[in-house]
Structure 1
């Protein structure tokens, strides 16, 4: 009778482990991790992508103090899909979307709306957070495709990056650009062990500064023609990839 009881307890424990998912036990495999220092604070904004038990995926942004070791913390994950401005000690602003009768079969029956549907405000690590929520169709119609360029040189200002003499390696036409300006905020540096830049990823959202109407979104992959090092870039509005994250 005692053996049967132990078997039942063991089976129930196994069932609990599988039904809860191993990720709840901290078993996460972090595939990508970036960090950006929030100017004027001791806080770090992390962007991560991780996989847990039963192919569960967690990805997003989280704020931690620089003295803390990074770990997956779903309850404190920020709700953004993308940042809409440079994070600061006063405010971090981002955007997301919800259906609003425009998902699935209702997508083409709906009228696209590019204005905010609601604004969520709260605090995380004593920093004001603003999450602007858009209609799914309005968001998807304005969120553009992928652009790939090789650039010769760049110049950085307080809020922007300017890339010069770019060749488009994505389209068949091989478009050439003399200059490309991108807004800082969600810029990701990928570098090798020698701190040489291998690729720069820019996720850029443009909003009307007054009404917050969604203007457009773009993703750019930028590869330097010449040796370019991570220390040539500031920390303001720029993420750096963390190697060997677990």
Structure 2
């Protein structure tokens, strides 16, 4: 627990001195996840520049480096498909393949990868799985919103209990919800109280990499819950930047 508290404090201190500077990006959202077994941190950011230009994505930096946006360092995917580790980080993205705009309904959806790009970033192997745009968009899934009573955590999953669905008119109740770790975002107050948990979950066939399912879940605790109750593995902590 002491190591966990130190990590959260380290992140807050490290990024409280972020400065945008003239002609640079104004960061509206910044999350950090420690890559287990390394000194590297995986960041997810969203930023705005001049003339309403937008930049966002994932970047790997060493923990000794100050976060600063360099678009050349962006990883070439927009969602994670598994928990990042010191050997490999895998994610997914899409390209048209004749299925954009007016061609969307003229093509059949393809759910298997069109290609897989492999390269290195900060000495970590990156695997970017690229899908046809229509196949990708049809598997993304909708938004689910829940409030939950309590949670437990394993090495690769989060389990939420006694959930009430606040999105649908039916008010569905769930006794338990299991979600895979990897792209889990904790939004917390200044004192570390959890306001919201966002989970982006991608399910791929382990052999063929066919896109099986995608879902986005927003979860709010019914009772006071703190960020330090969660581990660092597969979980992003929201960083507050002060200009």
Query: How many aligned residue pairs are there?
Result: 224
CA distance in structure 2 between the aligned counterparts of 1:90 and 1:133, rounded to whole angstroms: 20
Deviations 1:114-152 (A, max 9, x none): 000000000000000000000000001111010000000
Q: Counterpart of 1:236? A: 233
| 2:162 counterpart of 1:140 | no
Equivalent residue number for residue 190 of structure 1: 187
Task: Quote the offset at 1:24 in angstroms.
Answer: 11
Equivalence for 1:71: 68
Give the 3-state SS of the residue equivalent to 2:99 in structure 1: coil
Aligned equivalents of 2:191 and 2:124: distance in 1?
34
Instruction: Indicate the residue corresponding to 1:44 in structure 2.
Output: 41
Instruction: Work out the CA distance in 2 between the residues paired with 1:189 and 1:75.
Output: 27
- Check conservation: 1:30, 1:51, Cα contact below 8 A: yes
Corresponding position: 1:217 with 2:214: yes
Task: Give how far 1:245 is off.
Answer: 4.7
1:101 aligns with 2:110: no
Aligned to 2:13: none
Q: How far is 1:79 from its partner?
A: 1.1
Encode CA deviations 1:154-174: one digit per residue, 9 max, x unaligned.
Answer: 010000000000000000000
Q: Which residue of structure 2 lines up, in the alignment, with residue 170 of structure 1?
A: 167
Alpha-carbon deviations, 1:58-81, whole Å to 9, x = none? 000000000000000100100111
Structure with the bigger RCO (C-alpha within 8 Å, sep 6+) is 2
Which contiguous aligned blocks of 4+ residues in structure 1 show a shift greater than 3 angstroms?
A: 23-26
- The Cα offsets for residues 13-55 of structure 1, whole Å up to 9 and x where unpaired, read as xxxxxxxxxx996521100000000000000000000000111
The CA RMSD over aligned residues, in Å, is 1.2
| Structure of higher CA gyration radius | 1
Gaps of at least 5 residues in structure 2 are 1-19
List runs of 5+ in structure 1 lacking aligned partners. Answer: 1-22
SS in 1 for 2:106: coil
When normalised by structure 2's length, the TM-score is: 0.90
Contact 1:207/1:216, CA 8 A, preserved across alignment: yes
Paired with 1:97 and 1:216, the residues of 2 have a C-alpha distance of 15
Tell me the TM-score normalized by structure 1: 0.89
Is the CA contact 2:184–2:199 (under 8 Å) kept in the aligned structure 1?
Answer: yes
Q: Is the 8 A contact 1:159 1:237 kept in 2?
A: yes
Aligned-pair CA distance for 1:178: 0.6
Aligned to 2:158: 161
